[in-house]
């Protein structure tokens, strides 16, 4: 059974707003649902342990199914630390979004090295919404950035502005990806949009999470 490594944030503070944040629930549950029971999924985070959650919408039947599953809740409360991950075991890595990742994904060298190793050994790299923040400092053996010259998408500047968080996040993800050489594209806000470039697959926003999961499943199969 192929293994997939999900990465979620450990960061729970939404800047100086006094509000909380974390991984966006549907951006974990929807890809997980799409992968089904044919893949073994592990979850890691920058600090390990209990991962903070955001977007807790239990009117969504998929998210509700996972949230009410004690075994799944136990997994999310006991995420792996980066040093506990064996990259050679995984066929793919997936970065879930949520605003928290903007603070603790980009500069985490351990996670970047894990991603690089999985990719270099022929694995798939995937991310949704703010998740591509984890790709900003992933370098390959040739010294190039993984995203340099690659087609991808992420939460757009327009969506960040509409969400009212453009002045809250430490940087605008679309702008940072473009600055680091990515060939960025997006559809209108809240569109279901997925971009595949070789073994790199990205989704624009929460609305794209299920489609991204289905695409990842096909690629792994």
| Model pLDDT for residues 176-217, shown as the tens digit of each residue | 999 999 999 999 999 999 999 999 999 999 999 999 999 999
37 and 1 Cβ atoms separated by less than 8 Å: no
Query: Average pLDDT of 12-35?
Result: 98
Q: What integer best gives the mean pLDDT of the chain?
A: 98
Residue-wise DSSP of 98-127: -TTHHHHSTT-HHHHHHHHHHHHTT-EEEE
Exposure of 104 in the CB half-sphere (CA atoms within 13 A): 25
Predicted pLDDT of residue 105? 98
pLDDT band per the 50, 70, 90 thresholds, residue 102 = very high
pLDDT band per the 50, 70, 90 thresholds, residue 128 = very high
Predicted pLDDT of residue 90? 98
pTM above threshold 0.95: yes
Query: Average pLDDT of 44-65?
Result: 97
Predicted pLDDT of residue 179? 98
* Pick from 165, 169, 174: nearest CA to 195: 174
pLDDT tens figures, 33-53: 999 999 999 999 999 999 999
Query: Average pLDDT of 153-157?
Result: 98
Active-site positions read 129-130, 160
Predicted pLDDT of residue 217? 98
- For residue 21 the two structure tokens come to 């944040």
Residue-wise DSSP of 27-75: HHHHHHHHHTTSSEEEEE-SS-BSPPEE---TTSHHHHHHHT-HHHHHH
Strand 3-7 to strand 40-44: parallel, antiparallel, or no bridges (unpaired)?
parallel
Predicted pLDDT of residue 60? 98
Residue-wise DSSP of 67-81: HT-HHHHHHHHSBBP
């Amino acid at each position: 059974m192929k293994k997939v490594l999900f990465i979620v944030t450990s960061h729970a503070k939404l800047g100086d707003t006094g509000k909380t944040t974390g991984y966006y629930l549907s951006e974990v549950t929807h890809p997980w649902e799409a992968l089904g029971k044919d893949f073994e999924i592990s979850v890691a985070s920058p600090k390990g342990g209990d991962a903070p959650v955001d977007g807790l919408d239990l009117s969504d039947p998929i998210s509700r199914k996972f949230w009410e599953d004690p075994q799944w809740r136990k997994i999310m409360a006991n995420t792996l630390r980066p040093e506990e991950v064996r990259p050679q075991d995984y066929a793919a890595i997936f970065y879930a979004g949520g605003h928290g990742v903007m603070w603790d994904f980009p500069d985490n060298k351990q996670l970047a090295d894990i991603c690089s190793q999985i990719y270099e050994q022929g694995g798939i790299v995937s991310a949704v919404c703010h998740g591509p923040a984890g790709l900003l400092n992933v370098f390959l053996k040739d010294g190039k950035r993984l995203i340099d010259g690659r087609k991808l998408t992420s939460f757009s500047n327009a969506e960040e502005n509409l969400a009212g968080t453009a002045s809250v996040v430490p940087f605008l993800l679309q702008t940072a990806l473009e600055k680091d050489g990515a060939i960025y594209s997006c559809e209108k806000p809240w569109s279901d949009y997925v971009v595949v470039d070789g073994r790199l697959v990205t989704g624009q926003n929460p609305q794209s999470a299920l489609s991204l999961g289905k695409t990842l499943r096909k690629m792994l199969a």
